[in-house]
Structure 1
Amino acid sequence: MSAETTPEQEPRAPRFAFLRSATVVAVGMAIMNVAAYGFTLICVHRLVPEQFGAITALLGLLLIGNVASLGLQATGARQLATHTGTGAETLADAMLKAGRRAALGLTIVCLLATPLFVWLLHIDSVVAILLLAPTLGCLTLMGSQLGVLQGSQRWTELAAVYTSVGVGRLLLGGGALLIHPSLNAAMIGLALGAAVPALLGGFLLRGSHGGTSPQVKEVLRETVHGTHTLLAFFAIANADVLFARALLDGRHSGYYAAGVIVAKACLFLPQFVIVIVFPSLASSPGDTVRLRRAILAVAGLGACTVIGALLLPDLVLAVIGGKEDYAPLGPYTWLFAISGSAYAVLQLVVYAAIAQQEKRAALVIWIGLAVFAIGAGIVLGTGIATGMAGVQVLVAMTSTCAVVLSVVLAAGLHRQTTGGS
């Protein structure tokens, strides 16, 4: 009997190991996202709509600038997942050194770009915009650490760093707002909170050594390609917030910023699927079955959020706003759920393109962003749609853009796989 049951049990072990890993990472990322979401809710309750629109625009810049961190993480995870033979420790150290160099460079660039941000976002507080630089520097350093942990499949430690991201933002960023409800206080708290995961990651990876200069350069070279693709994705995923700030009046851009809370929740909810599946997509780039299953999982989670927002709009509004100021947004929260879910699928497809080293993905996304910008400029900039109608049109345009790009990129990956086979 034992000889018959063992073959049945053996295939279950990898599945159980995968489920355990997925659960650990999902819990860590859930804590991160809920805590970050909590910070955003504190912003909604403590800031007036105009200030909330400003902090949301700054958070959009952080998400765009954070692509360097995500590029380092993707590079580290891909290289370690595909690494064979000895030398994994020196490769990991090279990734950490590359992260330190990238963090310093990005901090300097962000400081130099401060006047541009002041002009672009119509934000009077120079201090708030200056604090973007150290915040991005810490997040970039953290990205290299996450890449080493993810590529080495150290899921528990990876989850711990993810948890510290949200906890640092909630306790320090939210605490600063509770003490003094202002834009400057929010950004001070964000900068302090971003230092927490970088310090934890440095502690977990202490003692790493042996990375050579050629290895560091190779990591940075690949990071540039991955970051370019992710930059295109996060630029288009956050462009709607910037368009709303620039093309809608202050009150309706505040409404849109509140709706984006729903969209971002739907975008980040299934992110653990990407984290877990990415190393296997990198080591087995032709595994289209795994990619399809991952897309179905992400889309399924998105469908649940859309249904929930459609059936319970008042509850969603109470969670994201809790003020009568945002009451006009209530009937349209489900539109933002569709937008966020569509971008979650697009994000998965983008990471699959990075895993397969598909260089054309960035160009496709940049073209999509250009079309999106032109369309938003025509419809909103000329006054064809204004007020709440402008809010509805803009969120519908974001959803359409994400769906079209997902189909185009997925078709390109399928052609690449079948062509290579």
Structure 2
Amino acid sequence: MLRRAKDERRRAEGVRRTASAGLLVAVGTGVGNVLAYGFNLVLSRGLGPGGYAELGTLLSVFLIGSVPGMAVQAVNARRLAVAADAPSAVRGELVRALRRRGLLVGVGVAAVFAALAPAVAALLPSVTVGGVAWTGVSLAANTVFASYLGIAQGTSRFVTMTALYLAAHSTRLAIGAAAASTLVSPTTVMAAQTAAWALAAGIGRLLLRDEARIDAAASQQEARVGEVAGRQEQVTVAAGRGGSVTEVAGSYAYVGEGAGRSEPAAEGVGGHHEQVAVGAEWQVGAAAGSQAEDGGAGGGGAAVGRVAGVGGRGVGGGGAGYLAEVLRAAGGLGGILLLTVLDTLLASRYLVGEDLGRYNTGGLIARAAFFAPSFVAMLAYPRLARAEERRRALTVSLVLTGGIGVVGVGLAAVGGNPLIGVAFGSEYASGGGFDLGGHGWLFAAVGALLALVNLALLDGVARRSHAVSVVVLGGIAVEAGIIVGFAHSSPAEIVTAAAASALVTASASVAVCLSARAVPEVAAVAAGEAIRITAAPDAARL
């Protein structure tokens, strides 16, 4: 009775903390999105429809290139979320490994863009080789920044996460305002915004440095466990295979129902999605003996690296495993971002002059509707990675994301040209050419529908499922086929095709994620650490 009451109090406290974090993230990301939108607004107003044509295309390329950064953020957040109950030494080593790998991915992105710059410039006649190359440099800094966002998100450091988001976009807005007032080239704008991402990444390194530290007291406690090296303690796991886990001197072996048969540790403990029955407890005690991998914690962090999976298939994963997971996540996230800009990229091949500039500005409306509910997915993602919390988090997130989208489409439909004139300038709302005010609601609908697809994709990343990614690839093929095939003679045809494709893709994606079931993932635990792991919704840490 006492334990149940204590667990209920802890759960109520967790709900209150989640509500406070939700309000903070909602306000912070909302302000951040306004700042990000302001960056585009000041440039579109300053450069006009003709001048914004090239910059709008480069910003679309930047958005696609930010996919690796988004994947790094998602993977970092997932790995830290499932390691929430791991000892401090394990988590500190994991954070340090994630920081290094995020930096390496950023350098790789810059190198790829430098190599592909001539090809991209040839494919998109409105941009230059220099503009594409500097976009890659900016993306390198953006990827490192996203890595720290993921660390903050996975450790539920929502205040820090919000601060980083605001720091990046406020600096970026200042750069955009300066560029618009001096009428610099689009290439210079892409180069200058590198400073905003680099500054925010540096702040992230500073604010999250404590997450990479190893608690000295905890490490000493783990070291004392080494005194009982050689002693065997069995761990009974109430799982589908119904056996027990035996740890001997820092290594795990799975003992099946038949005596004497053993299997690798990663299969039974750290790596796979082991289904744990509701209420099952793991009481892991044992001997330590091996040093933590990849820098470890010296003598105090015994058995941390191998047991926790840093360098293996468990919580941390090796460098190759990390890259593979980032690539898988990028496949889905890249698809959704490509969908958000596919119509504008194709429009740059079929439209010219002010029509292209107005269409690119319409793309800003779509992106505003896409990113407006981003705080919902950002807050829900750690819970989507935990099977016992996923269903409720997914349902609430879909309702909130859809509701925000409906409001956005309604505002665009009612506002029309007056709203366009206030937001972008009278030259975008004036007669002649593409009527942006009359089609603004279609752009908003594209963004709102793709926000639902994005949420479904993040749910898939959290479950390590690729089903929604396949749906997104199908949506890309459908939209590209329709626009390239016949719907490209006018801006109105292109945006209508994009909206229809987004509707089909969103319907299929939401259906897939609602019908999917998540399997609890068990994070391995360092030797000597006692921890209760359960699939019950009221589970509390010991």
Query: TM (normalized to structure 2)?
Result: 0.71
* Change over 3 Å in CA distance of 1:133–1:11 after alignment to 2: closer
Q: Is the 8 A contact 2:340 2:367 kept in 1?
A: no
Where does structure 2 lack aligned partners over 5 or more consecutive residues? 214-291, 295-309, 312-317, 521-542
Q: CA separation in 1, counterparts of 2:515 and 2:360?
A: 38
Q: Is the 8 A contact 1:303 1:341 kept in 2?
A: yes
Q: CA separation in 1, counterparts of 2:509 and 2:167?
A: 33
Q: Is the 8 A contact 1:247 1:380 kept in 2?
A: no
**Alpha-carbon shift at residue 357 of structure 1 (Å):** 1.0
**Alpha-carbon shift at residue 299 of structure 1 (Å):** 0.7
Please give the secondary structure, in 1, of the residue aligned with 2:61: helix
* Change over 3 Å in CA distance of 1:254–1:356 after alignment to 2: same
Please give the secondary structure, in 2, of the residue aligned with 1:163: helix
Where does structure 1 lack aligned partners over 5 or more consecutive residues? none
What are the Cα deviations for residues 73-125 of structure 1, in whole angstroms up to 9, with x where unaligned?
11111111111422111111111111011011111011011101211221354
* Change over 3 Å in CA distance of 1:88–1:398 after alignment to 2: same
From 155, 161, 166, the equivalent of 1:163 is: 166
**Alpha-carbon shift at residue 12 of structure 1 (Å):** 4.9
Partner of 1:85: 86
Q: CA separation in 2, counterparts of 1:7 and 1:92?
A: 29
Which stretch of the first structure deviates more once superposed, 106-115 or 27-36? Answer: 27-36
**Alpha-carbon shift at residue 280 of structure 1 (Å):** 0.3
Matched-pair identity in %? 25
**Alpha-carbon shift at residue 192 of structure 1 (Å):** 2.3
Partner of 1:72: 72
Partner of 1:154: 157
Please give the secondary structure, in 2, of the residue aligned with 1:358: coil
From 92, 95, 100, the equivalent of 2:98 is: 95
Q: Is the 8 A contact 2:137 2:191 kept in 1?
A: no
* Change over 3 Å in CA distance of 1:10–1:42 after alignment to 2: same
From 169, 194, 202, the equivalent of 1:199 is: 202
Partner of 2:513: 413
Partner of 2:443: 336
Counterpart code for 2:360: A
Partner of 1:366: 473
Q: CA separation in 2, counterparts of 1:7 and 1:281?
A: 21
| Residue 395 in structure 1 maps to residue 476 in structure 2 | no
**Alpha-carbon shift at residue 418 of structure 1 (Å):** 8.9
| Residue 172 in structure 1 maps to residue 175 in structure 2 | yes
**Alpha-carbon shift at residue 286 of structure 1 (Å):** 7.2
What are the Cα deviations for residues 215-271 of structure 1, in whole angstroms up to 9, with x where unaligned?
333322211111111111111221111011112233212111111121111111110
Partner of 1:51: 51
Partner of 2:326: 223
Counterpart code for 1:179: T
Q: CA separation in 2, counterparts of 1:129 and 1:403?
A: 31
Q: Is the 8 A contact 1:32 1:166 kept in 2?
A: yes
What are the Cα deviations for residues 43-89 of structure 1, in whole angstroms up to 9, with x where unaligned?
11111323312111111111111111110111111111111422111
| Residue 250 in structure 1 maps to residue 251 in structure 2 | no
Which stretch of the first structure deviates more once superposed, 136-145 or 251-260? Answer: 251-260
Partner of 1:346: 453
Q: Is the 8 A contact 2:387 2:519 kept in 1?
A: no
Counterpart code for 1:269: A
Q: Is the 8 A contact 2:98 2:147 kept in 1?
A: yes
From 90, 96, 112, the equivalent of 1:109 is: 112
Q: CA separation in 1, counterparts of 2:172 and 2:66?
A: 15
Please give the secondary structure, in 1, of the residue aligned with 2:466: coil
Partner of 2:14: 14
Please give the secondary structure, in 1, of the residue aligned with 2:102: helix
Please give the secondary structure, in 2, of the residue aligned with 1:123: coil
**Alpha-carbon shift at residue 8 of structure 1 (Å):** 9.8
Q: CA separation in 2, counterparts of 1:136 and 1:39?
A: 16
1:286-365 correspondence runs (5 A): 287-327=390-430, 328-365=435-472
Q: Is the 8 A contact 1:173 1:188 kept in 2?
A: no
The alignment of Structure 1 onto Structure 2 pairs a total of residues equal to 409
What are the Cα deviations for residues 335-385 of structure 1, in whole angstroms up to 9, with x where unaligned?
21111111111111111111111123322211221121111012245xxxx
**Alpha-carbon shift at residue 158 of structure 1 (Å):** 0.4
Q: CA separation in 1, counterparts of 2:512 and 2:441?
A: 30
Q: CA separation in 2, counterparts of 1:211 and 1:77?
A: 21
Partner of 1:133: 136
The RMSD of aligned alpha carbons is 2.4
State which structure, 1 or 2, has the greater radius of gyration over its C-alpha atoms: 2
Which stretch of the first structure deviates more once superposed, 276-285 or 286-295? Answer: 286-295
Q: CA separation in 1, counterparts of 2:99 and 2:387?
A: 25
Q: CA separation in 1, counterparts of 2:513 and 2:75?
A: 19
